[in-house]
Amino acid sequence: MIGVAARDRRQQGTGFALALPSLLLMLVFFILPVAALLLRSVTEPELGLQNYRELLATSTYARVFLNTFLVAGITTLVTLLIGYPVAWLLAILPQRAAALIFGLILLSMWTNLLARTYAWLVLLQRTGVINRMLMEAGLIGEPLQLVNNLTGIIIGMVYIMLPFIILPLHASMRAIDPAVLQAAALCGAGRWQSFRRILLPLSAGGAAAGSLMIFVMSLGYFVTPALLGGANNMMLAGMIAQLIQSLLNWGLGGAAALVLLAVTLALYGLQIRLMGNALARGR
């Protein structure tokens, strides 16, 4: 028994030593900056919670919060609706064709974010390619306003976020045994029934993981909303940058950043709980 206890202590010591570099990185690059931000949010310009009260009581800041969650929610929903058929297509295509499409998807992820956003700015402007094509086709009589509004933000965000829903959905769909769908068809199930009762439940894990990732990333996005949305459609990340960089209001900016961090951690906690319950029911 003594030898077993000593061996367990040695294993615990080895595990702690291996984890120490990661813990130090977390301490230096996450815990300490968050603690400093929390301290400044309750001490500047004076000690108290006045920064948090101002965030909740001022209509301008409330509108920014509402706009942020609205954009994140719409982006998540539209991306999920587009990503499902694309992921299913990749799952049933021959390997060579699927690999080619996958390469194009990954290439879009590797391209510089700023370059992609500026490309959409050129495409969506009143004299851009999209408006000219629609006018030449006779579908519209005058150019549409596709930038400096919510429409431009959603288009740019959906394009950027699509790979983050396609990849987890494709992985969950590839894990589904095709014989299950064949058996459903032999039993008389139509395509909609097969999708609703087999494909959708079995791919729900990938959909939930991808949707949460997109929603959380959208909450903190800065470049795309700033370029395609303009000042009238400011999101929380842009407001934080303006408060700190332009107004040097570290107290209010820190409070807004901590609210965003708290919402993000709460969403992650909710996903972990829901996934844990789903796994427990599966057993």
State percent of the chain over pLDDT 70.
91
What's the pLDDT score for residue 189?
A: 72
pLDDT digits (tens, 9 = 90+) for 235-245: 888 888 888 88
* 51-282: CATH, from 3.40.50.300, 3.90.1150.10, 1.10.3720.10, 3.30.43.10: 1.10.3720.10
pLDDT exceeds 90 at position 29: no
Q: What is d(CA 72, CA 155) in angstroms, rounded to the nearest whole number?
A: 12
Quick one: pLDDT at residue 282? Answer: 44
Q: What is the mean pLDDT of residues 8-17?
A: 62
* Residue 154 pLDDT exceeds 90: yes
- Give 3-state DSSP helix, strand, coil % of the chain, rounded to 5: 85, 0, 15
- Using the CB atoms, write b or e for 249-280: b if 16+ within 10 Å: bbbbbbbbbbbbeebbeeeeeebeeeeeeeee
pLDDT of residue 7: 57
Q: What is the pLDDT of residues 265-274, one digit of tens each?
A: 888 787 777 6
Among 235, 269, 273, 181, smallest CA distance to 72 is for: 235
pLDDT digits (tens, 9 = 90+) for 92-108: 888 888 888 888 888 88
Of the candidates 157, 145, 149, 150, which has an alpha carbon nearest to the alpha carbon of residue 77?
157
The pLDDT tens digits for 207-244 are 888 888 899 889 888 888 888 887 778 888 888 888 88
Q: What is the dihedral of CA 232, 237, 240, 242, to 10 degrees?
A: -50
List the domain boundaries for the chain.
1-43, 51-282
For 60-69, 149-158, 204-213, which range has the lowest pLDDT when averaged over its residues?
204-213
For residues 209 and 200, is the Cβ–Cβ distance under 8 A? no
Question: Which residues contact residue 5 at a Cβ distance below 8 angstroms, ignoring those fewer than 6 apart?
Answer: none
Q: What is the overall mean pLDDT for the chain? A: 82
Per-residue pLDDT reduced to its tens digit, 162-175: 999 998 888 888 88
Q: What is the 3-state secondary structure (H, E, C) of 173-201?
A: HHCCCHHHHHHHHHCCCCHHHHHHHHHHH
